[in-house]
Structure 1
Amino acid sequence: MSEHRITGTGRLLDEEGRLREPGWASRPPFSYDHADIRAPLWRIKDWDYYLVNDERYAVALTFGDLGYLGLVSASVLDFSARTFKTTSETVPLPLGSMGLPASSDVGDIHWANGRCSVDWRHVGPGRRLSFSMRGFDGKDDLEVEVLLDQQPRDSMVICTPWDEDPHAFYYNRKIIGMRAWGGFRRGALFHRFSRDDSFGLLDWGRGVWTYENTWYWAAAQGRQGGHVVGLNLGYGFGDTRAASENMAFVDGVAHKLGRVDFGIPVGERGYAYLSPWHVTDDEGRLDLDFDPRIDRTDNIDVAGVIVSRQHQVFGTFSGTVVLDDGSTLCVTGLRGSAEHIYNKY
Structure 2
Amino acid sequence: MALPEITERVALTLPDGSLDRRSVGWARQPLVDTSGVARDGLRRWTRHTGRNKRWEYWGVVTPTHVLALTVSSLDYAAVHEVWVLDRETGRTFGATATVVPARGVELPGSLGDGPARARAKTLAIDVDEVDGGTRLRARTRDVSFDVVAELPPGHERLAVVVPWSDSRFQYTVKDVARPTHGTLWVDGRTVDVPAGSSWAVLDHGRGRWPYDVRWNWGAGSGESHGRVVGVQVGGRWTAGTGSTENAVLVDGRLHHLPDELVWDYDLAEPHRPWRVTGGGLDATFEPFHTKVTRTNLGVVSSSTDQCFGTWSGTFTPPGGETSDGHDAGAVQFDGLVGWAEEVHNRW
The reply to whether TM is greater than 0.5 is yes
Does the 8 Å contact 1:161/1:239 carry over to 2? Answer: no
Deviation at 1:18, TM superposition (A): 2.3
Is 1:205 aligned to residue 205 of structure 2?
yes
2:148 corresponds to: 147
Change beyond 3 A, Cα 1:291–1:31: same
Give SS of 1:262's match. strand
Structure 2: distance between partners of 1:162 and 1:150: 31
Q: State the Cα RMSD in Å.
A: 2.1
Q: Following superposition of structure 1 onto structure 2, how do residues 276-287 of structure 1 map, counting pairs within 5 Å?
A: 276-281=273-278, 283=279, 285-287=280-282
Using the aligned pairs only, state the percent identity: 28
Q: Which amino acid aligns with 2:45?
A: A
In the TM superposition, residue 289 of structure 1 has moved relative to its aligned partner by 1.6
Counterpart in the other structure of 1:225 = 225
Alpha-carbon distance, 1:86 to partner: 5.3
Which residue is equivalent to 1:67?
Answer: 75
**AA matched with 2:272:** S
For residue 50 of structure 1, report the CA deviation from its aligned partner: 0.7
Amino acid at match of 1:133: T
**Which residues of structure 2 form unaligned runs of 5+?**
321-328
1:281-313 residue CA offsets vs partner (Å, 9 max, x unmatched): 1x4x1112211111111011123x111110111
Is 1:98 matched up with 2:105? yes
1:150 Cα shift? 3.0
More strand as a share of residues: 1
Q: Deviations over 1:193-217 (max 9, x none)?
A: 1112111111111111111100000
Deviation larger for 29-38 or 321-330: 29-38
Amino acid at match of 2:65: Y
Shift of 1:240: 5.0
CA contact (8 A) 1:4 1:242 kept: no
Paired residue type of 2:249? F
C-alpha distance in 1, partners of 2:201/2:156?
Answer: 13
1:45 equivalent among 38, 41, 53: 53
Q: Give the alignment partner of residue 302 of structure 1, picking from 290, 297, 317.
A: 297
Question: What is the deviation of 1:16?
Answer: 3.6
Change in CA separation of 1:206 and 1:247 when aligned onto 2, cut-off 3 Å = same
Query: Could you tell me whether the CA contact under 8 Å between 1:13 and 1:36 is conserved in 2?
Result: no
What corresponds to 2:325 in structure 1?
Answer: none
1:215 is paired with a residue whose SS is strand
Q: Quick one: which of 326, 330, 333 aligns to 1:331?
A: 333
CA distance in 2, matches of 1:186, 1:68: 32
Taking structure 2 as the reference length, what is the TM-score of the superposition?
A: 0.88
1:81 CA drift (Å): 3.1
> Residue 196 of structure 2 aligns with which residue?
196
Shift, 1:109, TM fit: 2.6
Q: Structure 2 residue aligned with 1:25, among 7, 24, 27?
A: 27
Distance (whole Å) between structure 1 residues aligned to residue 239 and residue 94 of structure 2: 31
For 1:87 and 1:110, locate their aligned partners in 2 and report how far apart those are by CA, in whole Å: 15
Q: For each residue in 1:23-69, what CA deviation from the matched residue of structure 2 results, as whole angstroms up to 9, or x when unmatched? A: 21111222112344552299221111111112321101101111111
SS class of match (1:80): coil
Q: Is the 8 A contact 2:71 2:118 kept in 1?
A: no
Distance in 2 separating the partners of 1:169 and 1:122? 26
> What are the equivalent positions in structure 2 for 1:265-284 lying under 5 Å apart?
265=266, 271-281=268-278, 283=279
Separation in 1, partners of 2:228, 2:56: 23
1:259 and 2:260 are equivalent in the alignment: yes
In structure 2, distance between residues paired with 1:118 and 1:211:
28
Superposition TM-score, scaled by structure 1 size: 0.89
- Residues 1:124 and 2:101 aligned together: no
SS in 1 for 2:338: strand
In the alignment, the residues of structure 1 paired with residue 111 and residue 203 of structure 2 have an alpha-carbon distance, to the nearest angstrom, of 9
CA distance in 2, matches of 1:302, 1:112: 22
Q: Point out where structure 1 has 5 or more consecutive residues left out of the alignment.
A: 135-140
